[in-house]
Amino acid sequence: MPTRSEDFAGLTVAMITPFRDGQVDVEALQRHVEFQVEAGTTCLCPVGTTGECPTLSNAEHERVISAVVEAAAGRIKVMAGTGSNSTEEALHLTRWAAQAGADAALIVAPYYNKPTQEGFFQHFRTLAQAVDIPICIYNIPGRTGKNIEPETIIRLAELPNITMVKESTGSMDQASQIVNATDLTLLSGDDSLTLPLMALGARGVVSVVGNIVPKDMIALVRAFNAGDVAEAQRWHRKLFPLCRDMLGLSTNPIPIKAAMQMLGRDTGDLRMPLVRLNATEEAKLRATLVRYGLLT
C-alpha cells in the first residue's frame, strides 16, 4: 500500500545530478545524499528538473535512482523523478523506481505534447494503476507548456496512490482550489513561495536551494508548523535573495550548480544545451552567497 502522503511533508530536496568528465559522478551523488541525511531532510528527489533528467539516457536515469536509493538505505525517503512526455517511457521509469525501492515517484506533466485535460488524466491514471508507490503530480506549466487544471487534479486525487502535488504554477488561486477540494499533500515547487503556500495549506517544499542550505529551509517549515509565524517570516526574508538567484540568474539548475562549485561541493559541470553562468552572473551569485554568510 502507498506510504501516507503526510510522511512526505517537510523538506524534499530536488537533487542535482553531479557530472565529471561528461559522466554521472556516482561518488559525488552519494556524498550529496549523506549531506542531506545529516541535515535532517525529509526526502530526496533525484532526476527531476534540477537533476537534468532530459539529458540523461534511460540507463543513466535508472542508475541515478538506484544509487540514491542505495545510499539512502532507508534513512531518508526517496521520491524519484520518473516523468516523460511519453507515457510509455514514464511507465518504464516509474516501474523501475518502484522496483529499485523508491518511496514515491515525482511525475511531471507531459511536456511539449500539450495534452488535453483528458489526456493528462489518462496519462497519470495509467501510471498510478501500474505501481503501488505514492505519486506526486508535478505541475509546472512554465516548462511543460500547459497547465493541469485544478479540476483535473481533483479528479486524479480520487485515485488511491496519487497522494501529492508539487505546485509550481505560481497561482495562489490554483493552490487554494486543490487544498479546498482534495486531501492531497500540496508541496511548494518554488522556494520563494514556500511560506505563502504553507499559509494556504501546503505541507512543505520540493526545494532547489535545499541543496546548499537544507537546515535553513527546515527551520522555516518547522517554525511555521509550530505557529511561530514571525520566525518563519524571518527565515523567508533571509532565504529570499538566495532563492531568487537560484531561479532568476539563469535556468535551473545552472545557478545551484555554480553555487555548489563555489562552495566546494560539486564540479559545476552541466550537460548541453545548458551552459555555465557568465562572468557577470557569477559575480552576482558570489555576492549573494557572501551576504548570506556562506562565503567570505
Reply yes or no on whether 284 is catalytic.
Answer: no
How far, in Å, CA of 133 to CA of 22, rounded?
A: 32
Q: What is the SS3 assignment for 172-209?
A: HHHHHHHHHHCCCEEEECCHHHHHHHHHHCCCEEEECH
Q: Which residues pair with 19 in a beta bridge?
A: 24
Residue 273 contacts by C-beta under 8 Å, 6 or more apart in sequence? none
Q: What H or E segment, with its residue span, contains residue 138?
A: strand 135-139
Q: What H or E segment, with its residue span, contains residue 37?
A: helix 26-39
How far, in Å, CA of 232 to CA of 239, rounded?
A: 10
Catalytic site residue from 138, 146, 215, 257: 138
**Contact (Cβ atoms closer than 8 angstroms) between residue 194 and residue 236:** yes
Burial class (CB in 10 A: 0-12, 13-18, 19+), 143: middle
How far, in Å, CA of 188 to CA of 168, rounded?
A: 7
Reply yes or no on whether 138 is catalytic.
Answer: yes
Catalytic site residue from 77, 146, 166, 257: 166
How far, in Å, CA of 296 to CA of 286, rounded?
A: 10
* Cα four-point dihedral sign 126, 78, 81, 57: negative
At residue 127, the 3 state secondary structure works out as helix
Active-site residues: which are they?
138, 166
